[in-house]
């Protein structure tokens, strides 16, 4: 039995987690919210040391220290461009931890199965299965985002059938855990969860991977909640449920921002080859321009909009871009940055990337506010973005990004793309806008190109 004081501490921690999430939802309160969450987590983890007669305390503390050290080093070293895969990785290990905890609990419960009740055993089975799905699924999303494997959907014939069979097998094993609890079922259940996780994420295309990360995040939350029920611990129940519910909701919000449904993202590739992009460079003619041409376009434009993309961040070209914008501003042009909600590798990622580069916040304009401006714009400079300006989202049903709201760059008088190559964007489809007669392309590394354009503008 947990003593009353400890239960009250757990209750306080659960409430702190609610405050933390609430804080994270607003820009002014986000940081303090996160710190409240961290403090509550530390207090919650410290509590059992004071009321339980725990064995192996030195080993446990060593393991906590090791995990914390790995977490801190990873969190400090990761580049902002790699944030989505970092979130996936952290989520995956959390899911793995929940599955292992449930496996251990199953071993404890096994001999006393009659006293435990079927619901507890079902919750244990759920945690093992879904925790493993989360672990393996996150590992695949990590591999896709880190480009350890292709980011395009991977489908093989019979995948839907195989997947359905695996789900049925999961349910059967789950029932077996309830009727005959023990490791002999628990371990196959975990293995099946790993398989399901891989099968779930393989068919998801690169551009949709962040949505899946969010969904797996919600899954892990629910496993933690189920684990809380099994262990009779209210903090785990509340914290896990909060993350599960808000994560599911966040997943829906993100999917809506991309004009997609979650089922389409998960199973679209299974229904047909339509979400497969070409993934290859085209050899159709384009109009390429030199830095001087671009400088003349920009230098004499009255209205300029910059569309920053992931390519900008990868090239670390933010500061050069800022300098260029400053020069254009002193020449009397009006310049804004247009921020697409899913620019970057994950919703809201571009805001993080530009915040890192300390681009003045008041120059960043969100999609809905700037979309009407493009038709009055002399030059749009697209730096390392592709999918978020691709008119195929409006014109080509069946394209992976069809239905996603885009920046209406195609309405501007002139468009300049800074690109490394003709390789399509993350969604793997070609952008018709590249072949438009009003479009010029300046090939090369974004930082390099911007530096050349900058000196050419200064020389005007």
Partner 1 sequence: MSEPVVWLTIFLLSVFVGVEVIAKVSSTLHTPLMSGANAIHGVILLGAVIVTGSTESTVALVVGLVAIVLAAVNMIGGFVVTDRMLQMFVRRKPGGGK
Q: Is the CB of 33 or the CB of 308 nearer to partner 1?
A: 33
Helix residue ranges, H only, 285-415: 291-299, 310-314, 318-330, 349-356, 367-370, 392-395
Cα separation, 239 vs 95, in Å, equals: 14
Q: Look up residue 143 and give its two tokens.
A: 């591999």
Give the list of residues 6+ apart from residue 75 with CB closer than 8 angstroms, or none.
86
Contact predicate 443/419, CB 8 Å: yes
Q: Catalytic annotation on 326?
A: no
Shortest distance, CB of residue 261 to partner 1, whole angstroms? 17
Sign of CA dihedral 43, 44, 47, 48: negative
Contact predicate 295/456, CB 8 Å: yes
User: 265-301 burial, b for 16+ CB within 10 Å, e for fewer?
Assistant: bbebbeeeeebebeeeeeeeebeebebebbbebbbeb
Q: Is the CB of 224 or the CB of 434 nearer to partner 1?
A: 224
Q: Is the CB of 317 or the CB of 433 nearer to partner 1?
A: 317
Contact predicate 122/174, CB 8 Å: yes
Give the list of residues 6+ apart from residue 130 with CB closer than 8 angstroms, or none.
95, 99, 193, 219, 220, 222, 223, 226
Cα separation, 218 vs 249, in Å, equals: 9
Catalytic residue among 208, 336, 387, 408: 387
Q: Is the CB of 31 or the CB of 423 nearer to partner 1?
A: 31
261 CB-contact burial (10 Å; exposed 0-12 / middle 13-18 / buried 19+) = middle
Shortest distance, CB of residue 276 to partner 1, whole angstroms? 27
Shortest distance, CB of residue 375 to partner 1, whole angstroms? 24
Shortest distance, CB of residue 49 to partner 1, whole angstroms? 8
Looking up tokens 């099968």, which residue turns up? 199
Shortest distance, CB of residue 357 to partner 1, whole angstroms? 9
Shortest distance, CB of residue 413 to partner 1, whole angstroms? 28
Shortest distance, CB of residue 80 to partner 1, whole angstroms? 7
Shortest distance, CB of residue 108 to partner 1, whole angstroms? 8
Q: Is the CB of 336 or the CB of 430 nearer to partner 1?
A: 336
How many C-alpha atoms does 261 have within 13 Å on its Cβ side? 5
Q: Is the CB of 175 or the CB of 245 nearer to partner 1?
A: 245
Q: 258 φ, ψ to 5°? A: -95, 5
Shortest distance, CB of residue 7 to partner 1, whole angstroms? 12
**What is the DSSP annotation of 281-302?**
---S---B--HHHHHHHHHT-S
Q: Is the CB of 251 or the CB of 275 nearer to partner 1?
A: 251
Cα separation, 455 vs 99, in Å, equals: 57
Contact predicate 90/217, CB 8 Å: no
Q: Is the CB of 269 or the CB of 353 nearer to partner 1?
A: 353
Q: Look up residue 257 and give its two tokens.
A: 């921002």
Give the list of residues 6+ apart from residue 297 with CB closer than 8 angstroms, or none.
378, 379, 414, 416, 440
Helix (H) or strand (E) holding 168: helix 159-179
Q: Is the CB of 110 or the CB of 424 nearer to partner 1?
A: 110
Kindly list the catalytic residues. Answer: 387
């Amino acid at each position: 039995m947990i003593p009353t004081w400890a239960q009250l501490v757990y209750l306080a921690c659960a409430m702190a987690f609610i405050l933390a999430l609430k804080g994270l939802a607003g820009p002014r309160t986000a940081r303090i919210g996160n710190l409240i969450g961290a403090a509550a987590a530390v207090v919650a983890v410290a509590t059992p040391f004071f009321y339980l007669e725990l064995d192996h305390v030195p080993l446990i503390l060593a393991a906590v220290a090791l995990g914390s050290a790995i977490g801190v080093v990873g969190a400090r070293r990761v580049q902002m461009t790699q944030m989505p895969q970092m979130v996936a990785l952290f989520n995956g290990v959390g899911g793995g931890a929940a599955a292992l905890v449930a496996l251990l609990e199953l071993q404890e419960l096994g001999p006393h199965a009659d006293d435990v009740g079927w619901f507890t055993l079902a919750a244990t089975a759920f945690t093992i299965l879904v925790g493993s799905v989360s672990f393996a699924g996150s590992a695949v999303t990590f591999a896709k985002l880190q480009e350890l494997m292709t980011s395009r959907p991977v489908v093989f014939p019979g995948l839907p059938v195989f997947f359905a069979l695996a789900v049925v097998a999961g349910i059967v094993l789950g029932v077996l855990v309830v009727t005959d609890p023990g490791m002999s079922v628990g371990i196959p259940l975990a293995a099946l969860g790993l398989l399901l996780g891989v099968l779930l994420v393989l068919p998801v295309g690169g551009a949709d991977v962040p949505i899946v990360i969010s969904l797996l995040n919600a899954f892990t939350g629910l496993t933690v909640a189920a684990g809380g029920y099994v262990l009779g611990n209210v903090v785990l129940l509340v914290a896990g449920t909060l993350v599960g519910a808000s994560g599911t909701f966040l997943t829906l919000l993100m999917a809506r921002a991309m004009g997609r449904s979650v089922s389409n993202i998960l199973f679209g590739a299974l229904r047909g080859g339509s979400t497969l992009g070409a993934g290859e460079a085209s050899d159709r003619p384009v109009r390429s321009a030199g830095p001087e041409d671009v400088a003349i376009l920009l230098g004499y434009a009255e209205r300029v909009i910059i569309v920053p993309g992931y390519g900008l961040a990868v090239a670390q070209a933010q500061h050069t871009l800022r300098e260029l914008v400053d020069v254009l501003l002193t020449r009397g042009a009006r310049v804004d940055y247009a921020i697409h909600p899913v620019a970057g590798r994950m919703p809201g990622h571009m805001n993080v990337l530009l915040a890192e580069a300390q681009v003045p916040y008041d120059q960043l304009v969100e999609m809905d506010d700037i979309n009407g401006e493009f038709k009055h714009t002399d030059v749009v400079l697209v730096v390392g973005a592709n999918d978020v300006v691709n008119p195929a989202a409006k014109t080509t049903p069946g394209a992976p990004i069809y239905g996603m709201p885009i920046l209406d760059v195609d309405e501007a008088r002139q468009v300049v793309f800074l690109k490394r190559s003709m390789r399509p964007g993350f969604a793997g489809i070609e952008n018709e806008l590249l072949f438009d007669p009003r479009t010029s392309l300046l090939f090369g590394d974004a930082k390099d190109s911007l530096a050349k354009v900058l000196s050419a503008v200064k020389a005007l």
